[in-house]
Amino acid sequence: MKTRIVATTPFDDQKPGTAGLRKKVSVFQQTHYLENLIQAIFQTAGDFEGKTIVAGGDGRFYNTEALQTLAEMAAANGVRKLIVGRNGLLSTPAASHLIRHRGAFGGFLLTASHNPGGPDGDFGIKFNTSTGGQASEALMDSLHEATRKLQSYSILDIGRLDLDRPGERKYGPLSVEVVDPVTDYADLMETLFDFDAIRDLFGTGFRMCFDAMNAVTGPYGKEILEKRLGAPAGTVVNGSPLSDFGGLHPDPNPVDAASLVEYMASESAPDFAAASDGDGDRNMILGRGLVISPGDSLAVMAAHADKIPGYRDGLAGVARSMPTSRAVDKVAERLGIRCYETPTGWRFFCNLLEAGLIDLCGEESFGTSSSHAREKDGLWAVLFWLNLQAVTGKDVGEIVHDHWSEFGRHAYCRNDYFIADAERAAAVTARLEKQVESMSGNCFGNLTIDKADSFTYVDPVDGSESRQQGIRVFFVDGSRIIYRLSGTGTSGATLRVYLENYLEDPASHSQDAPSATANLAGVSRDIACIEELTGLSEPTVIV
Ligand code: VG1
Ligand code: CO
């Protein structure tokens, strides 16, 4: 068994986006493409000699092949031990927990998250550090630099990994421990939530539907909801991870999980429903005839945290990504705690969590989590809402309506414009960046711009600065529009326009979010000249 040094040439498109590097499967299948990326990570993320790392993915097409290559390269790069989920599976939050729990040096998460899978779909890799959180901006930059210079990689033929059988085995110099992907994570959940109370709730005949969208959370949902909490068999639907997600787009939002929304609006709707995404870090919460907007979900969690065992001692602070609705800000103000505003992408929460400045955080893109991990966590959010219903005796609809009566409602919608020509999309934000300074005072219909800026974030922990993280337009009446380009797509570009309208009067709370933000949607197109610059007169998707 001898390490081979393989000569290669750099690829110029290995710049990580909002959460790791995502590309079409066919791009990852190019000779040396995956190997170059992995080698660049081994070169830049620290000294891996003698270390333990975690690896696993969402089970999508190419998961097993990539794991095999990773193991061969880990062995060649001095890694001593690889901890991997059985069959190569690990949800993103479970991987984050496992890294922390086992004191690993870092972890490779094989996922393109909510992007479609299968041979014609997407694949992706994220590297998380020993904190369990995603690599920092600075590490991403050096990683990208390394991919542009790489001339060779090291690999060792260690034989085919047996990923089916739990236990520790030696492959050449590398120890590989295959673990159950669910157990440690489920144990952690038991320490945070009142499982007895939730079990009693299911005992009263409470019905729920958890849609795992044929992705990684199926086994987690079955173990936690059906086995440990006693929900009836069949509570988890689409519960077997499939390499192409059964053709579903595993993104828990009202458009891609439309059938669940329809079900919850029907006569036979259960009391509660939820869905998660490809790698298990997103969540959508539904009541009968109602989808809870992620910003509201975060705010409700913050307001009721003291009722949940894991958060009974109070919250140090909370955080939201900048485009996320300001509903949680109102709760933080009431609680007398800080609310931090970070750029989009979970990695920006990690320093705040690590420094103990916050306990809860969330993004408008159906992501919420807490200090228990360094990734967002879909099932955790579902358990939080279950626990809340169990202790308050109220259903999701009552909880959220009560919240709105107390704090007012931040009606919220995201308009996504898919623009095939990425340059035309970039022209929209470039023009806004130029004009943003002089927007104040401009009127659009009955709306007047109070102030506008390009969002810069200074990390309060390490002082690092991230510029151009989105254009913010604030109106005199308290409403807000944000523009930014997506960093997770694999073709063309997506312009995201985030609309938020604060409704104080309870009489206005029952309208649906698109109607409550319709005026802002039109104004957002006028301000950014979207039709003129892209040819699109309407958003491609509204979530
Ligand atoms: C999107 C979301 C962002 C999220 C990211 C990763 O990024 O907007 O909030 O953190 O996906 O989520 P972008 O750059 O496309 O807007 V996941 O579940 O796909 O890892
Ligand atoms: Co995800």
Q: Tens place of pLDDT for every residue, the chain, 543 residues?
A: 789 999 999 999 999 988 899 999 999 999 999 999 999 999 999 999 999 999 999 999 999 999 999 999 999 999 999 999 999 999 999 999 999 999 999 999 999 999 999 999 999 999 999 999 999 889 999 999 999 999 999 999 999 999 999 999 999 999 999 999 999 999 999 999 999 999 999 999 999 999 999 999 999 999 999 999 999 999 999 999 999 999 989 999 999 999 999 999 999 999 999 999 999 999 999 999 999 999 999 999 999 999 999 999 999 999 999 999 999 999 999 999 999 999 999 999 999 999 999 999 999 999 999 999 999 999 999 999 999 999 999 999 999 999 999 999 999 999 999 999 999 999 999 999 999 999 999 999 999 999 999 999 999 999 999 999 999 999 999 999 999 999 888 889 999 999 999 998 888 888 899 999 999 999 999 999 999 999 999 999 999
Task: Check if 113 is active-site.
Answer: yes
Is 404 close to ligand 1, i.e. is its CB under 6 Å away?
A: no
pLDDT at 42: 97
Is 277 close to ligand 1, i.e. is its CB under 6 Å away?
A: yes
pLDDT at 507: 86
pLDDT at 195: 98
**pTM of the predicted model, to two decimals?**
0.96
What is the per-residue burial (b if ≥16 Cβ within 10 Å, else e) of 214-249?
bbbbbbbbbbbbbebbebeeebbbbbebbbebeebb
Burial of 487 (0-12, 13-18, 19+ CB in 10 A): middle
pLDDT at 510: 85
What's the CA gap between 412 and 511, in Å, rounded?
Answer: 11
Task: Tell me the torsion sign for CA atoms 375, 370, 222, 262.
Answer: negative
Distance of CA 1 to the CA centre of its chain: 40
pLDDT at 418: 97
pLDDT at 322: 98
Helix axes 195-203, 378-392, angle to 10 degrees: 70
pLDDT at 293: 96
pLDDT at 186: 98
Residue to substitute in 419, 488, 496, 498 for testing ligand 1 pocket (most ligand atoms within 8 angstroms of CB): 488
Helix (H, G, I), strand (E, B) or coil at 506: helix
Is 487 close to ligand 1, i.e. is its CB under 6 Å away?
A: yes
Cα 345 to averaged position of ligand 1 atoms, centre (Å)? 6
Among residues 113, 154, 325, 370, which one is catalytic? Answer: 113
pLDDT at 369: 98
Q: φ, ψ for residue 357 (rounded to 5)? A: -80, -25
Cα 4 to averaged position of ligand 2 atoms, centre (Å)? 35
pLDDT at 508: 87
pLDDT at 530: 96
